[in-house]
Amino acid sequence: MVAFFFIIKGVFSMLHRFFHFLKQSLLVVLCILLLGGLLAGGWFFYQGRQLYRSAASSYPVSSMYDTICARGSYTSYDALPQIYINAVICTEDEHFMTHKGIDPGAIARALLADLRTHSLAEGGSTLTQQLAKNELFTQDKHLARKAAEMLAAFDIEKTYSKQQIFEMYANTIYFGSGYYGIAEAAEGYFGKEPAQLTDAEAIYLAGMPNAPSTYASSPELAFKRMQVVLKRMVKCRVLTQQQADAIAADAENLTV
């Protein structure tokens, strides 16, 4: 009986040492991964900083508003339908009015989605980041460009008001079919100026930049995207469900 007790005690002692070793090994591995992540993050941040400096040397953020305003078919913020503004913010960047250029929560959600799909399909970009990407950088998806995009977004937010940022975004985003900016899109798809758009038309256009070429070639998919936009607007409480249903009914009569 005594021998059995010592055997059991020895087994528990071995298990204790094993689990202690396993715990220490896991801590070492986690520390190595953390250090590797910090080093990689630092490297991509450095590359992004260099990329942003290169872009800003030829196109300073301070000149962005005047440069975009000087282009043809420009629409001021006051001439944009409020329902279009609400639709874009609810769908593309819910915290646009409060963040400082980036949305950490959106980035975290996008990172988890990318890890699940083993891709860079989700970027978690704010409207400010999208403006920076479209004006300063290429559309290539890589981490250095994402870092550069964030740095540019911070400077844009420090330089301009939220209305100016939204105005620049709306006048530069691609809507498919060769239309850049809300004025070209409103004229190209509906033969109207932005201020003349109906609620259904404005929401239809608000959904297009998510996949402009796809929606431009398939109105059916564009109408499905419109339903997503309406659901987001109800969730953000800028529309009631009754209002959203009425707009969806009006959309059935749209000719694109």
**Per residue in 16-30, pLDDT tens?**
666 666 666 666 666
Confidence (pLDDT) at 3: 57
Tokens of 145: 């460009």
What is the average pLDDT across 39-53? Answer: 75
CA distance 46 to 89: 31
Please give the pLDDT value at position 104.
83
What's the mean pLDDT in 90-107?
A: 90
* Position 85 pLDDT exceeds 60: yes
Class of domain 59-252: mainly alpha
* pLDDT attached to residue 240: 97
Q: How confident is the model at residue 4 (pLDDT cuts 50, 70, 90)?
A: low
With tokens 């913010």, the residue in question is 89
Q: Which two tokens stand for residue 98?
A: 């409060």
Tokens read off for 92: 């593309």
Half-sphere exposure of 56 (CA within 13 A, CB side): 16
Looking at residue 95, what DSSP letter applies? T
C-alpha count within 13 angstroms, C-beta hemisphere, residue 229: 29
Check if the beta carbon of residue 68 is closer than 8 Å to that of residue 159: no
Q: Is the pLDDT of residue 11 over 70?
A: no
- Amino acid 95 reads H
pLDDT at 117 over 60: no
Rounded distance between C-alpha atoms, residue 38 and residue 26, angstroms: 18
Tens of pLDDT, residues 213-245: 999 999 999 999 999 999 999 999 999 999 999
**What digits encode the pLDDT tens for the residues 157-197?**
999 999 999 999 999 999 999 999 999 999 999 999 999 99
What is the reported pLDDT for 45? 66
Helices (H), the chain: 2-58, 64-69, 82-92, 104-117, 127-136, 143-159, 162-172, 182-190, 199-207, 212-217, 219-235, 241-251
What is the average pLDDT score of the chain?
A: 86
Residue 227's closest CA among 204, 255, 194? 204
